[in-house]
């Protein structure tokens, strides 16, 4: 800033502090006008200033995930590498990864788990046996995350085999005392830009889970590698490079190796849009802390009709008072008890109350160290967020507003919250997948809110 600009900035600041003081006489003096002239516009100026300051403060708190091209590394590996896959992982993918390890200098030992071995204890037994044959591995490459099947016996509804298997593997490696770096492979979990294919939200869950494993078991964590749908020799070389390199959240693409970064959103980018439709908005978890806050904000912004859901509905504390408060703000609110993870119930609700906008804020959190979390409780934390979001995506595809309440736990992990992180990573992935399909969607990964909500 040069001297002239500095003077202008100082004068601007002085002017706006007079506006913020709300004193008409002082402002009239600054402007050289009669006090009566400025008094009429002063309240509007004060409001304008306040909203701009709030908006720029909020903008300063915004970050987004970005991808940087990095040096792919030399790809020099050594020692025995345990490669773990499951029945649903395409054989050619296993072969390609094994080939990449061999060319990188490693000696792969391949274990393909059948569906009966997805259980943590079965798996620990099998791994102990494999480890015992040669006396130790240099690393573990898990391809289990690539198994996109659902509905396999023993794996709960809403938990893809790749996620259940990855959870079992992280735990079983600890049980079998195999303390070498674990690398988890996915395909389509992340998008590095427009040239990428569509994100598969189920694959993104493995990244959410992996980031928590990285926090809880740093000494035996390698990283996450996302591979492209189409394999070629360069991809194999880059995979070996990543396994021998320093980056731990990487997308390998035909065009290069990309490392995940968190970057500040540039000022002025993604200016807030207005929800212009006069239609109704569904707020799931609408009787919870953040759901109620967003309902109030929507009412203030002129949304005429709100449909608020939670499992307890009007039985939730404060629900009736919230309806009255929203009426006072000009919105007609209906509270309906509905489990968003129950597709039929959700479809029935939307049949009765058609909406043009969706805010999906329903969710539960649980804090259990990864070493002890069971598949049942893992699935329980996933269901409202992931099944709810999936059904909303299917049932309101052309929503004019589709906002998912995600969490920072999904972005950088949170100790003891593997399922919660996986669920939020799913939401972020679903928003990307919708946008790639030309639909609207925004996933807001909130940091902890003060004063209210599930983390207080
Ligand atoms: N609070 C924070 O600091 C924070 C930070 C980051 C992200 N978030 C996210 O923001 C969202 C709202 O959080 P909050 O703090 O407002 O939590 P909250 O007060 O506990 O509200 C959660 C709401 O979800 C409802 N819900 C849970 N399972 C449901 C299901 N299966 N079907 C329908 N409704 C269900 C709950 O009501 P019932 O129990 O009656 O169903 C409750 O109304 C969550 O998705 C959370 O992950 C919050």
Distance 140 CA to ligand 1 centre (A): 36
> Probe ligand 1: pick from 290, 291, 417, max atoms within 8 Å of CB?
290
Q: What is the pLDDT of residues 317-362, one digit of tens each?
A: 999 999 999 999 999 999 999 999 999 999 999 999 999 999 999 9
Query: Residue 126 has what DSSP assignment?
Result: H
Distance 373 CA to ligand 1 centre (A): 21
Tokens of 190: 């992340």
**What pLDDT, on the 0 to 100 scale, is given for residue 5?**
77
From CA 367, how far away is CA 382, in angstroms rounded?
A: 13
Percent residues over pLDDT 70 in the chain: 96
Q: What is the pLDDT of residues 400-455, one digit of tens each?
A: 999 999 999 999 999 999 999 999 999 999 999 999 999 999 999 999 998 888 87
Yes or no: say if 422 and 407 are a contact pair by the CB < 8 Å rule.
no
Question: Does the CA dihedral 351-294-448-430 come out positive or negative?
Answer: positive
Yes or no: say if 158 and 341 are a contact pair by the CB < 8 Å rule.
yes
Residue 80: φ, ψ to 5°: -85, 130
Distance 362 CA to ligand 1 centre (A): 4
> Probe ligand 1: pick from 157, 340, 347, 363, max atoms within 8 Å of CB?
363
Distance 446 CA to ligand 1 centre (A): 12
Ligand 1 atom closest to residue 311's alpha carbon, by position in its atom list: 41
Any residues with Cβ below 6 Å from ligand 1, and which? 284-285, 287-291, 309-312, 316, 339-341, 361-364, 384, 405, 407, 446, 448-449, 453-455
**What pLDDT, on the 0 to 100 scale, is given for residue 265?**
87
Nearest protein Cα to ligand 1, atom 15: 453
Distance 281 CA to ligand 1 centre (A): 17
Nearest alpha carbon to residue 127 among 109, 107, 148: 109
Ligand 1 atom closest to residue 365's alpha carbon, by position in its atom list: 47
Q: Strand pairing partners for 81?
A: 108, 139
Q: What is the pLDDT of residues 286-301, one digit of tens each?
A: 999 999 999 999 999 9
Distance 369 CA to ligand 1 centre (A): 21
Query: Residue 265 has what DSSP assignment?
Result: P
Integer-rounded Cα Rg, in Å, for the chain is: 26
Tokens of 392: 């909303």
Residues of the chain with pLDDT under 70: 1, 132-135, 153-155, 267-273
Nearest protein Cα to ligand 1, atom 20: 454
Query: Residue 344 has what DSSP assignment?
Result: H
Ligand 1 atom closest to residue 448's alpha carbon, by position in its atom list: 3
**What pLDDT, on the 0 to 100 scale, is given for residue 150?**
85
Q: Helix (H, G, I), strand (E, B), or coil: what is residue 166?
A: helix
**What pLDDT, on the 0 to 100 scale, is given for residue 154?**
65
From CA 448, how far away is CA 212, in angstroms rounded?
A: 17
Nearest protein Cα to ligand 1, atom 5: 448
Measured in whole angstroms, how far is the alpha carbon of residue 201 from the centre of its chain? 9
Tokens of 75: 């790809």
Nearest protein Cα to ligand 1, atom 27: 363
**One fold for 67-264 and 280-446:** yes
Yes or no: say if 425 and 371 are a contact pair by the CB < 8 Å rule.
no
Domain boundaries, the chain: 3-61, 67-264, 280-446
Q: Has domain 67-264 been given CATH number 3.30.930.10? A: no
**What pLDDT, on the 0 to 100 scale, is given for residue 432?**
95
Highest CATH level, class, for 280-446: alpha beta
Residue 272: φ, ψ to 5°: -60, 135
Q: What is the pLDDT of residues 112-121, one digit of tens each?
A: 999 888 889 9
């Amino acid at each position: 800033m040069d001297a002239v600009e500095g003077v202008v900035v100082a004068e601007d600041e002085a002017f706006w502090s007079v506006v913020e003081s709300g004193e008409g006489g002082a402002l009239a003096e600054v402007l050289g006008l009669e006090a009566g002239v400025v008094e009429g516009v002063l309240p509007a100026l004060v409001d304008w200033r306040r909203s701009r300051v709030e908006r720029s403060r909020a903008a300063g708190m915004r970050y987004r995930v970005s991808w940087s091209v990095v040096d792919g590394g030399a790809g020099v590996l050594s020692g025995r590498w345990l490669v773990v896959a499951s029945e649903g992982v395409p054989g050619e993918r296993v072969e390609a990864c094994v080939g990449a390890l061999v060319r990188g200098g490693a000696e792969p030992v391949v274990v393909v788990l059948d569906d009966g071995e997805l259980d943590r204890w079965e798996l620990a037994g099998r791994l102990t046996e494999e480890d015992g044959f040669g006396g130790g591995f240099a690393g573990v490459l898990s391809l289990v995350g690539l198994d996109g099947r659902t509905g396999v016996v023993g794996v709960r509804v809403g938990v893809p085999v790749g996620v259940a298997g990855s959870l079992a593997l992280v735990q079983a490696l600890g049980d079998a005392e195999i303390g070498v770096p674990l690398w988890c492979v996915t395909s389509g979990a992340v998008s590095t830009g427009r040239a990428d294919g569509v994100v598969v939200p189920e694959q993104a869950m493995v990244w959410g889970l992996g980031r928590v494993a990285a926090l809880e078991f740093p000494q035996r964590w390698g990283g996450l590698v996302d591979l492209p749908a189409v394999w070629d020799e360069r991809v194999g070389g880059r995979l070996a490079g990543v396994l021998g390199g320093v980056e731990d959240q990487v997308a390998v693409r035909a065009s290069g190796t990309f490392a995940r970064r968190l970057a500040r959103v540039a000022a002025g980018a993604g200016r807030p849009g207005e929800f212009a439709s006069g239609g109704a908005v569904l707020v799931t978890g609408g009787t919870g802390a953040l759901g109620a806050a967003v309902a109030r904000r929507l009412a203030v912004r002129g949304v005429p009709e709100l449909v608020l859901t939670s499992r307890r509905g009007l039985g939730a504390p404060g629900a009736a008072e919230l309806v009255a408060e929203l009426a006072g703000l000009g919105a007609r609110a209906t509270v309906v008890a509905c489990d968003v993870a129950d597709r039929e119930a959700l479809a029935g609700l939307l049949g009765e109350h058609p909406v043009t906008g969706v805010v999906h804020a329903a969710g539960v959190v649980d804090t259990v160290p990864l070493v002890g979390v069971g598949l049942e409780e893992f699935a329980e934390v996933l269901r409202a967020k992931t099944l709810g979001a999936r059904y909303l995506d299917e049932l309101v595809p052309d929503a004019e507003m589709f906002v998912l309440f995600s969490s920072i736990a999904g972005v950088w992990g949170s100790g003891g919250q593997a399922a919660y992180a996986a669920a939020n990573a799913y939401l972020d992935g679903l928003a990307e997948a919708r946008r790639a399909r030309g639909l609207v969607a925004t996933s807001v990964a909130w940091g902890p809110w003060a004063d209210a909500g599930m983390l207080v």
